[in-house]
Amino acid sequence: MPSFDNIPDTVSFPDEERNILNLWDQLDAFKTSLKMSEGKPEYTFYDGPPFATGLPHYGHILAGTIKDIVTRYAHQTGHHVIRRFGWDCHGLPIEFEIDNKLGISGRDDVLKMGIDKYNAECRSIVMRYSKEWESIVKRLGRWIDFENDYKTLDPSFMESVWWVFKQLFEKDLVYRGYKVMPYSTGCTTPLSNFEANLNYKDVSDPAIIVSFPLLSDPETSLLAWTTTPWTLPSNFALCVNPELDYVKIRDKEKNKMWIVAETRICSLYKETQKDAYEILQKLKGKDMVGWEYTPLFEYFAGMRASHGAFRVLADGFVTDDSGTGVVHCAPAFGEDDFRVCQVANIVRKGESVVCPVDDAGKFTEAVPQYTGRHVKECDDDIKRELKNKGRLIHSGTIVHSYPYCWRSETPLIYKAVPSWFVKVENLKERLLANNLQSYWVPNFVQEKRFHNWLQDARDWCISRNRYWGTPLPLWVSDDYAEMVCVGSIEELERLTGQKFDDIHRDKIDHVTIPSQRGPQFGVLKRVDEVFDCWFESGSMPYGQIHYPFENQDLFQKGFPADFIAEGLDQTRGWFYTLLVISTALFDKPPFKNLIVNGLVLAADGKKMSKRLKNYPDPIDVVNEFGADAVRLYLINSPVVRAEPLKFQKAGVRDVVKDVFLPWFNAYRFLVQNVTRLELETGARFTPDVNASKKSGNVMDKWIQAVANSLIAFVREEMSKYRLYTVVPRLISFLEQLTNWYVRLNRLRLKGSVSPQDCELALATLYDVLLTVVKTMAPFTPFLTEFMYQNLKKVLPDAHPDKLDCVHYLEFPQAREDAIDPRIEEAVSRMQRVIDLARNVRERCHVSFKIPCKEVIIVNKDQGFLRDVQDLQAYVQSELNVRKVTLVEKESDFVTLRAQPDNKALGKRLGKEFAGVAKAIKELSHEQIANFEASGEITILNHKLGAGDVQVLREFKGGRANMEAAWDGSVLVVLDVSEDEELKNEGFAREVINRVQKLRKKAKLNIDDDVEVFYQVSGPVLKSVVNQFQGLIASAVRVPLLDVSQKPAQAVVLISESDEVANAKLTVTIAVTGVAFNDKSLEAKFGSHGAKFVDGVKTTLCCYDINRLRAHVSANQKSVRFELDGQNVELVHGVDFFFGAGEKDKLSA
């Protein structure tokens, strides 16, 4: 019985993957692998938590694949790798869905409904797609623990978040303050600065210039420019740059006096309108400080007397690159506005900021004319009112990049809100230092993008005026003079005398803590806010294992994490929050190694959109091509270098066609030929790891050298997390294995040389295939498992590589004694020669089936020529050439031409370059050859070296039927002339091709016992078949027999006609059956009549041919039976034969 299971001609990778998933389920493979690795060094991995309110997209699949590869590799290299999935359960994504579902537009709606009911609605959708996530992640081959997942809504996780916050609070890194923040009116909450940077869009906004008449000179107005007319009702000051030059001008047509920056007159007049105005006065910005003006609206007119509003301030943030050089300041809606007004005491500490806009972005009753309307809706009406007042000087539009809420897709506004902040600016130096302690791939993201973000880091707003989240554990007095920060559930229970199994808002908002100052001071109440969900995800290293309340030893051994990976968009998200919190807590980076992937875009380069349906469903692609194909397509792309990828379904198909199918065919070829060898020898195939050492075949040694060099390379590069170098090298190796080793050694592997050589070749191929399966296992877990389950069957039971699952095996170690750079170089040189000659054939349209007379290889390097000579048999066979000629003297075939390096020499020689360049181009062949030998040449008194002059080689030509190709170091010249003999051999190879195609079409295995018959219509083709009978028989492994020799009772499997050499060729494949010597049978049994003779034939044909062979062998070539009362004895080789081919051979 064959050692290997039979492998069909075709394979459905998705179907086989589903079979592998069933196998893994039966083995409980992931858990088993974890159990097997217990006690080994821990490798800590953090998985960033996604929301389960939507389904995974290609970005998730990409990041998940990278994580799976690295953690599988870590396991295979001797580590215990806990992999827990996590879920982000709080925050805007969930609340936004509930707000839309219930029609909630603001705080009052939630309070009217009740926070308990609102949170219950949120909780109900948190894990909506969790089962789908688990199914998809599993289908993609990722091994990660869903049973012991962590959720940010778990009390244990939330308690760790409280602990983190208390550490920051006690280190005086937390404060409450008014700050102008990016604010989402769609989600009614402030956002952090990095959230505001997540979703910029190009939009068209108003761009207007308005006038502010001076109290001291009402005929003169300062002009300010703004793109947010809705902020003008809240204007409290104007700001100029103290050092800029300003001018007072008179508009001649309107007879109005205006003040703008001198360089910004262009905002009012075109270059051709200089006669439309006159400059009356020049002054510096600092000269105008303190000037008072008439406000646009009377809503807050009292602010002049009470706070000194409506005057000119000066600050360096004002520039003259746009607008008028005068900035209108609405301190409630601009960060710089707030700052300069605070310095001017218009905004005062301890007082609320005047802000006539509510949480939903609508004007309050403080602006009665627009009360209840969203601010962005009022722009046109405000412009109209200003025009009616004569204060609108210019109205236009501007297209600019503007931030939108990443969740609600509504435009952000900037709004002063009371919030809780972490003092990131105090940590800036430590953040920069700790960033340098981690290793990022690619490093430019760390050194540029992330470094720059840290360099400009601002205090982090960690609070949200929302409901579904981890509540801030702060209990405060009404005047905020007394604050208690709670760091655990036990502490809260001790302070309140109550028990808690849940600490969401609806469970603890009502809880008070007695004032430590005495009963007369009342009680402390919890602040309204909850944590930003980014604070929770940044706390996941602690929350996922309930640190420090549990698992202290586990945390201390595994922190910082060995590895994390996410997309480029997390540079200002998760990567940042992890670093801020770990730096604040421990002054350490939170991870040692990080892979940053780029964004996966739709095929048109746009963002993938469910609404636009501009990308194929991931599961549809997996079901069509397989998960391994999707994985390999993604990780063999620019996206692993943090560059964008335009997803192409055709790219996944190409992975199957160009990588998996050749790999599968090499594996199938091994199985077929091992089965054939076992049937021929009767001995079980036992692979010998030292086969390549015993073999004298250079290709056996070469493929082992390449395989072990690959292992060494993968180990080195994976230690540096450079998937972008590893994956191309793996794919390149598969091409070397399938397209070079197997193809160049097909005859050896089929046993055409000798049984001993065949066994060595098969053992080499087996060892290399098993090695590549183990090496590729982290990258393509399904296909490697599929192959391994069959490959392991020939291994002894005690062999370390014979386990239940390929993913239990250790990653292979490179065998240093097998690595041979010289052999690799020699074969590489041969490959270059073959590739160049192939190019010539293709360019000249010379079929590979027609032999060429000669190939000439020209190279002045004797070592190069020796390498090709040693491998000359492969060159001849692969190129189908009769003769290989090696030429060291280049001048017979090559013309040398020199060309200057224009950039290098032009810069160095200046005006003299032109003359030198001309002289370089005029150098003779001998001069250039001498330059190459010496490495230098003097031209027009300038000594030039190798970097200054480029030497080009060109085929001289002028030789009949000779065509050439050149790759920069070797010239290959091919004789493409044809004669009758060469053409006829080409026709013979066409015949071979037709037979092989027919065998494949009939789905025949290599060991199927068949005979091949032919019929031709023309004398030329008949002559070709007769002349090259040996070549054809050697290739198709059976003689090609004339159709007239086909037994009448033959069972035909397939028959087809085709055209070869302008003649009709019919090929018929039949099952090998009994053939008869009609003359002998007639002589023996003719007296009994024709019917009796036919009965003899029919009786013998009823025998199974293999049993008949065994019977004949045991009974000295005779078969005896009784027919119609007559004894019949038939002699093998006289009366009958095993097939027409044997009859033809023995009869001859």
Give the lowest-confidence range in 289-303, 398-412, 469-483, 780-794.
Answer: 398-412
φ/ψ of 85, rounded to 5, equals -80, 150
* Distance from C-alpha of 770 to C-alpha of 800, rounded to nearest angstrom: 13
The CA distance from 72 to 61, in Å, is 16
Q: How far apart are CA 599 and CA 567, in angstroms?
A: 7
Cα angle for residues 16, 21, 24 (degrees, 5° grid) = 125
Percentage with pLDDT > 70 across the chain:
99
Q: Catalytic site residue 109?
A: no
Is residue 345 scored above 70 in pLDDT? yes
Of 174, 166, 155, 259, the C-alpha closest to 212 is: 259
Residue 541, both tokens: 């290293």
Q: Check whether 942 has a pLDDT greater than 90.
A: no
**What are the pLDDT digits (tens) for 998-1040?**
988 888 877 788 999 999 888 888 888 888 888 888 888 888 8
Q: What is the pLDDT of residues 763-777, one digit of tens each?
A: 999 999 999 999 999
Interatomic CA distance for residues 157 and 539, integer angstroms: 9
CB 122 within 8 A of CB 468: yes
Confidence grade of residue 332 (pLDDT, cut at 50, 70, 90): very high
Residues 247-298: pLDDT tens digits? 999 999 999 999 999 999 999 998 889 899 999 999 999 999 999 999 999 9
Token pair 């199985």: residue:
671
* 247 in Cβ contact with 282 (< 8 Å): yes
Torsion, Cα of 739, 744, 749, 755 (10° steps)? -170
Name the catalytic one among 24, 47, 49, 801.
49
Asked if 94 contacts 125 with a C-beta cutoff of 8 angstroms, the reply is yes
- Distance, in Å, from the CA atom of 874 to the CA atom of 880, rounded to the nearest integer, reads 9
Query: Which of left, alpha, beta for 211 (phi over 0: left; psi -120 to 50: alpha)?
Result: beta
CA 773 vs CA 319, 809, 816: distances in Å: 63, 10, 20
**Per-residue pLDDT for 481 more than 90?**
no
Given a cut of 80, is residue 105 above it in pLDDT? no
pTM of the model: 0.81
Q: Which of 607, 907, 997, 1003 is catalytic?
A: 607
Per-residue pLDDT of 631-647, as tens digits, reads 999 999 999 999 999 99
Query: CA-to-CA distance for 402 and 219, rounded, in angstroms?
Result: 36
Q: Is 607 a catalytic residue?
A: yes
Q: Is the peptide bond before 616 cis (omega within 30 degrees of 0)?
A: no
Angle at 542 between CA 541 and CA 546, to 5 degrees: 130
Is the Cβ–Cβ distance between 463 and 90 less than 8 Å?
no
Nearest-angstrom CA–CA distance, 361 and 155 = 34
Q: Which band of pLDDT confidence, cut at 50, 70 and 90, is reported for residue 607? A: confident
Mean pLDDT, the chain, as a whole number?
91
Closest CA to 417 of 329, 530, 335: 335
Q: Please check whether residue 784 is in contact with residue 15, taking contact to mean a CB–CB distance below 8 angstroms.
A: no
Q: Tell me, what's the pLDDT at 194?
A: 62
Give the span between the Cα atoms of 827 and 1134, in whole angstroms: 52
Cα atoms in the 13 Å half-sphere on the side-chain side of 950: 9
Of 316, 330, 132, the C-alpha closest to 226 is: 330
Choose the weakest-confidence range: 281-290, 591-600, 797-806, 914-923. Answer: 914-923
Nearest C-alpha neighbor of 758 from the set 708, 695, 683? 695
Conformation bin of residue 318: beta by default, left when phi > 0, alpha when psi is -120 to 50:
beta
Catalytic residue among 76, 544, 570, 736: 570
Mean pLDDT of 1111-1134: 86
Choose among 1000, 1013, 1014, 1010: nearest CA to 1071: 1010
Tell me, what's the pLDDT at 692?
A: 67
Q: How far apart are the C-alpha atoms of 788 and 332, rounded to whole Å?
A: 67
Query: Considering 101, 171, 606, 610, which one is annotated as catalytic?
Result: 610
Is the pLDDT score of 804 beyond 70?
A: yes
Q: Which residue out of 230, 453, 534, 663 is catalytically annotated?
A: 534
Three-state DSSP class for residue 949? strand
The reported pLDDT for the residue numbered 892 is: 78
Identity of the amino acid at 368: P
* Residues 697-720, mean pLDDT to the nearest whole number: 95
Please write the tens of the pLDDT for every residue from 676-688. 888 888 889 988 8
DSSP letter for 1080, please.
Answer: H
Residue 565: enclosing H or E segment and its boundaries? strand 564-567
pLDDT of residue 958: 64
- Report residue 771: phi and psi, to 5°: -65, -45
* Greater model confidence, 448 or 106: 448
Cβ atoms of residues 511 and 471 within 8 Å: no
* CB atoms inside a 10 Å sphere around CB 981: 12
Q: Could you tell me the two tokens for 1136?
A: 């009958």
Residue 491 has pLDDT above 70, yes or no: yes
Q: Which residues pair with 523 in a beta bridge?
A: 514
Instruction: List, for residues 60-99, the tens digit of each pLDDT value.
Output: 899 999 999 999 999 999 999 999 999 999 987 888 889 8
3-state secondary structure (DSSP) of residue 209: strand
35 is catalytic: no
Which range, of 476-485, 704-713, 881-890, 1112-1121, averages the lowest pLDDT? 1112-1121
* C-alpha to C-alpha distance for 134 and 85, rounded to whole angstroms: 9
Answer whether 730's CB lies under 8 Å from 776's CB: yes
Q: Is 574 designated active site?
A: yes
668, two tokens: 């199938």
Condensed to tens digits (0 to 9), the pLDDT of residues 874-887 reads: 999 899 898 999 99
Catalytic residue among 50, 67, 68, 88: 88
Instruction: Place 350 in a pLDDT band, splitting at 50, 70 and 90.
Output: low
Q: Is the pLDDT of residue 1108 over 90?
A: no
Single out the residue of 421, 406, 470, 461 nearest to residue 184, CA to CA: 406
Provide the pLDDT confidence category of residue 717 given band limits of 50, 70 and 90.
very high
Q: What is the mean pLDDT of residues 780-804?
A: 95
Most confident of 107-111, 327-331, 452-456, 853-857: 327-331
- Active-site residue, selected from the candidate residues 574, 663, 702, 740: 574
Q: Mean pLDDT throughout 487-506?
A: 95
Question: Is-contact 1025 1068, C-beta < 8 A?
Answer: no
- State the DSSP string of 1102-1123: TS-HHHHHHHHHHTTTEEEEEE
pLDDT band with cut points at 50, 70 and 90 for residue 956: confident
Residue bearing tokens 């390929």: 806
